[in-house]
Structure 1
Amino acid sequence: MALTVNAVTIDVQDRINGVHRYDGTGTSWTQIRGAVTVGETVGGGWGIVVGGTGGETGQVLGYSGTPFDWFSMGERGATYAVSHETVYKTTPDGSQVLQFDGFEDSTPLWSKVGGSASLAVAGSVGVVAQMPDLQGDTFLYTGNPDDWENIGPGGNSYAIADTIYRSHPLGTKVFKYNGTGTSWGDIGGPPGGVARLFGGGFGLFATALDASGVFRYRGTPGNWDRIGEQTGSCAVADDTVYRVGGDGSVFRYNGSGDSWSSIGRPDRVFSILVASD
């Protein structure tokens, strides 16, 4: 399962005008969708989902792998999380968590796996939500319908790398889940505080609350290195991390220090995400 970087772009009036997929070399990108709702463009190991607009308003759509070919997955949700295996969403009123189970003929199937929640993140270690809402504690889905384990207090931002990470609600520090019960370790954070966390196979990264840059966690508490300029969006693949530059271009990290290479831009990039091929 190779993860490829994708970009949501905006026009000169700052309106969303498309989703583009990086072609893998140089600065070449392929557009795969027109105007979308940026808050509902989510990716992961399973693939990409978007919220429908125009004639598809009210639907959530999955990418088939062919540019501009998307299939309806049913009613749009309030929050989403994409794992390696499938897609999760909350109902529009946030009262239930639903899991995508595929299709029966052409009918999308979803099953209830949880109650009132706000989905936070999904990845290699599972699906994480705040319950009963964005102000709630942190819960991890056990894989059994309606069985979620309370693993600790709520956070402001979440990421999954080798385990689950959450930032303090005030952005003052980052906590690493120890894997059992409600045990978390304080691993510090960027000197200027934590704005957002980003995680994946390549590790854990944070943008600074004081806009001082992108920081990489080096695996021991308090050990964070500044690796690049501040950005509004990062995406972590298995072998590197990407960020959006000030001019709307996308940059790929070269692996050490603060060295990055531009991979161009299909248009002015607003946000990026990684998803499987």
Structure 2
Amino acid sequence: MGEPADRHSATPATGGFPDPDTAKDFPAFQELLSQVRGSVSYGELARQAARTGSTLSSSSAHHVINKPDIPRSDRNRQHIATVLRIRGMRAEDVEKWLTVLDRLWQAELHPQDGQDADALAGDTSPVPSPAGDTPSQATGRRRLAITAGAVLVAGLAATLVLLLGPGHSPDTGPPAPAASGWPVASTGPVPEVAPDPPLSGPVAAPSGTGTYKTTADGDVWQWSGRGTTWQRIGVSAKKLYAGPAGVFAVGLHDDVLRGYTGRPGHWVTVSEPAADFAISTTRLYRLAKGHSAVHEWNAATRTWKKIKGPAQQLYGGGAGLFATDPEGGRISLYSGTPGRWDVIGTAGADFAVTGDSLYGLDLDKTQVRRWSGHAFSWSRAGGAATRLYAGRQGLYASNPQDGILWQYSGTPDQWYPVSAAGADFALRGTALYRLAADRSGIWRRDPATQDWQQISGPARTLTAAG
């Protein structure tokens, strides 16, 4: 099928962004800049820029306003270009804005004697002092011009930073390789000691539909709940996790885990790369790289605490956190006390956690079993299956013959078909979502009518907050 209905169109040549070449003096450029940044004040722009260390190395709003030290390396210039492309600006317009920024930067670093605001805004020819100016008056005019240029440079650079938020689809041109594409200031490892406070606020609990997808380019979208309308909330993600603890994304290029603050385009670093993550109620857990340990995230202190040694895989849900052993595959339940895990069953091909139960698929995939709540006590729930899906509404399994999805009634061996085959399924409340087998669209099953309705075009992954 064609381009999905929920994709935004690229910004037209004459809309969305003013042309910087139309401003030939400082007041005109100020007006043009204000069109881009909207109603946000210079002070707020500076504060935003100060929190974005990947683009500006300034440490406070005062520093940005009074002494801008914008890095001039190709890496940061490419980062700004990527930001603008993400916002939908055409390549030629990106270059215009970067040229203006370069010109203003040069004027700030090396102002010519007698250069005034006109030169700072675009006319590079020196402007002599008017007849009758005293040396002190000429000096005052130069200081005023330099100060205005400093504020404008800070405002423009901060505006470029703010443009990293959600908006138009990226251009078809390749992104700058040095930029991660994530609107965050910190991408390094999160140690087991308290780091600096969050840069954009805490990770927020899922809101609205709590239904998310990633597209082929790594963009993160949230369904609005209306037709095929989605809002882009992030970029450059390869995998999503969602639940009461929040919405988290694994970076497409760096494997860093980031949490969504609830504001489109605003994500905070939560963890260094890891083997796996899991959410159980309001808790987030991590399986360390190399499967060497399991950690629990403390959202208040933004630290990780070790709660278990080696593990093979994590499974989380309303019924608790479970982990399989790397040797033998036995599954254990976390007691809530670090280091204390209760072994409850043998190895399985798959496990799924509902709101109140744990289900397992035998290693040969011939039976689905339900854990009774006692160690090594399991009962049959159904026959052969390929994969299990679970949420607060119950258990689902895909048929190994045709991929059709079946829902468990709660009575052993009583299941009924609910969906055609799919590449993935997700559950949210009483709603069920399906990513088409060829990933050409996302469908939602109405809890009241049981009818399926398409809500999205092509997607790479599908996730819902349980």
Smaller-chain TM-score bracket: 0.7 to 0.9
Check if 1:249 corresponds to 2:441: yes
One of 35, 57, 76 as aligned partner of 2:273: 76
For residues 11-45 of structure 1, give each alpha carbon's deviation from its aligned partner in whole angstroms, at most 9, with x where no partner exists: xxxxx52221111222211112222223xx22222
Q: Is the contact between residue 4 and residue 24 of structure 1 (CA under 8 Å) also seen in structure 2?
A: no
Question: Over alpha carbons, which structure has the higher Rg?
Answer: 2
Match in the other structure for 2:297? 100
Match in the other structure for 1:136? 329
Q: Secondary structure at the match of 2:290?
A: coil
Cα shift at 1:165: 0.8
One of 208, 211, 216 as aligned partner of 1:5: 211
Higher relative contact order (CA 8 A, sep 6+): 1
Match in the other structure for 2:341? 148
Cα shift at 1:120: 2.9
Give the counterpart letter for 1:51 in structure 2: V
One of 252, 259, 267 as aligned partner of 1:62: 259
Larger proportion of strand: 1
Greater Cα offset, 1-10 or 203-212 = 1-10
Check if 1:110 corresponds to 2:309: no
Looking at structure 1, the residues matched to 257 and 456 of structure 2 have their Cα atoms a distance apart, in angstroms, of: 29
For residues 120-150 of structure 1, give each alpha carbon's deviation from its aligned partner in whole angstroms, at most 9, with x where no partner exists: 32111110110136x5111110100011110
Check if 1:21 corresponds to 2:21: no
Gaps of 5+ in 1: 11-15
Cα shift at 1:6: 1.0
For residues 192-241 of structure 1, give each alpha carbon's deviation from its aligned partner in whole angstroms, at most 9, with x where no partner exists: x3121111122111122223411111111111111111011011112121
Match in the other structure for 1:205? 396
Looking at structure 2, the residues matched to 19 and 31 of structure 1 have their Cα atoms a distance apart, in angstroms, of: 6
Check if 1:185 corresponds to 2:370: no
Check if 1:34 corresponds to 2:228: no
Check if 1:269 corresponds to 2:269: no
The share of aligned pairs that are identical, in percent, is: 26
Q: Secondary structure at the match of 2:213?
A: strand
Q: Secondary structure at the match of 1:187?
A: strand
Match in the other structure for 2:430? 239
Cα shift at 1:95: 1.1
Larger proportion of helix: 2
Aligned residue pair count = 258
Q: Is the contact between residue 399 and residue 405 of structure 2 (CA under 8 Å) also seen in structure 1?
A: yes
Looking at structure 1, the residues matched to 214 and 400 of structure 2 have their Cα atoms a distance apart, in angstroms, of: 23
Match in the other structure for 1:123? 317
Task: Rate the CA distance shift 1:194–1:239 in 2: closer, same or farther, 3 A.
Answer: same
Task: Rate the CA distance shift 1:206–1:257 in 2: closer, same or farther, 3 A.
Answer: farther
Give the counterpart letter for 1:89 in structure 2: R
Q: Is the contact between residue 228 and residue 259 of structure 1 (CA under 8 Å) also seen in structure 2?
A: no
Greater Cα offset, 122-131 or 193-202 = 193-202
Task: Rate the CA distance shift 1:176–1:257 in 2: closer, same or farther, 3 A.
Answer: farther
Give the counterpart letter for 1:124 in structure 2: G
**Structure 2 length-normalised TM:** 0.52
Match in the other structure for 1:13? none
Looking at structure 1, the residues matched to 310 and 279 of structure 2 have their Cα atoms a distance apart, in angstroms, of: 18
Looking at structure 1, the residues matched to 415 and 255 of structure 2 have their Cα atoms a distance apart, in angstroms, of: 42
For residues 34-82 of structure 1, give each alpha carbon's deviation from its aligned partner in whole angstroms, at most 9, with x where no partner exists: 22223xx22222112222244xx25221111112211011312111101
TM-align CA RMSD? 2.1
Cα shift at 1:257: 8.7
Runs of 4+ in 1 over 4 A off after TM superposition: none
Looking at structure 1, the residues matched to 238 and 263 of structure 2 have their Cα atoms a distance apart, in angstroms, of: 20
Looking at structure 2, the residues matched to 144 and 128 of structure 1 have their Cα atoms a distance apart, in angstroms, of: 13
**Structure 1 length-normalised TM:** 0.86
